[in-house]
Amino acid sequence: MARARRGGAAAMRILVVHGPNLNLLGEREPALYGSTTLRQIDAQLRALGAELGVRVETFQSNSEGELVGRIQAARGQVEGVIINPAAYTHSSIAIRDALALLEVPMVEVHLSNIYRREPFRHHSTIADLVDGRIIGLGAQGYTLALRALVELAQARGRRQPPMEKGVRRQLANE
Ligand code: DQA
């Protein structure tokens, strides 16, 4: 809204993608993942988004194809992505390739500290693709990610598009 207030520009849009089994947060292994439900996490993100003046869209699926489809559909539609690919973190080249299509800042989130767990959870197919990672801080990792992502996306917005700036300067000189 802050952004909408300044010069009437449309609010920044942030997509939050949740992978398989995260729909069961709250009931699922609470010692590892905490007691906050996905619905509560999404509500917290939307509330923080309203405070920061950004529109937060959330999506969860247990299917790799649906996750790829949602990420593809975000091309040109969002200014940033938060993603917890859950188990697909460790295996999905398809999700990595879909994210690589989006030229926007991205933050990877994991509720648990994957490096304190089984070795197969130590590898992430997207670790080098994302701008940053928040791992092991439970549900608050998502709100931290949103704050960081909005900063990143705003900084990127200020830097570009260079052509538009040039045109603006030219017009000012005319
Ligand atoms: C997870 C960690 C993954 O290894 C696991 O498969 C999940 C959740 C996390 O948020 O800690 O489903 O991504």
Q: What is the pTM of this model?
A: 0.89
CATH architecture under which domain 2-173 falls: 3-Layer(aba) Sandwich (3.40)
Contact 153, 103 (CB under 8 A): no
Interval between CA 33 and ligand 1 midpoint (Å): 8
Ligand 1 — pocket residues by CB below 6 A? 21, 84, 86-87, 89, 110-112, 114, 121
- Amino acid 164: pLDDT: 53
- Amino acid 173: pLDDT: 53
Pairing of strands 12-18, 132-135: unpaired
Interval between CA 112 and ligand 1 midpoint (Å): 7
Whole-angstrom distance, CA of residue 43 vs CA of residue 39: 6
Interval between CA 117 and ligand 1 midpoint (Å): 10
User: For a substitution probing ligand 1, which of 108, 114, 122, 133 has the most ligand atoms within 8 Å of its CB?
Assistant: 114
Q: How confident is the model at residue 168 (pLDDT cuts 50, 70, 90)?
A: very low
Atom of ligand 1 nearest to the CA of 110: 10
For the cut 60, the answer to whether the pLDDT of residue 21 exceeds it is yes
Contact 48, 1 (CB under 8 A): no
- In the chain, domain spans: 2-173
User: For a substitution probing ligand 1, which of 89, 113, 116, 144 has the most ligand atoms within 8 Å of its CB?
Assistant: 89
For the cut 70, the answer to whether the pLDDT of residue 162 exceeds it is no
Per-position DSSP letters for 22-51, written without gaps between them: GGGTTTS-HHHH-S--HHHHHHHHHHHHHH
- Amino acid 46: pLDDT: 98
> What tens digit of pLDDT does each residue of 80-136 get?
999 999 999 999 999 999 999 999 999 999 999 999 999 999 999 999 999 999 999
Residues forming the active site: 33, 110
For the cut 80, the answer to whether the pLDDT of residue 49 exceeds it is yes
Interval between CA 62 and ligand 1 midpoint (Å): 13
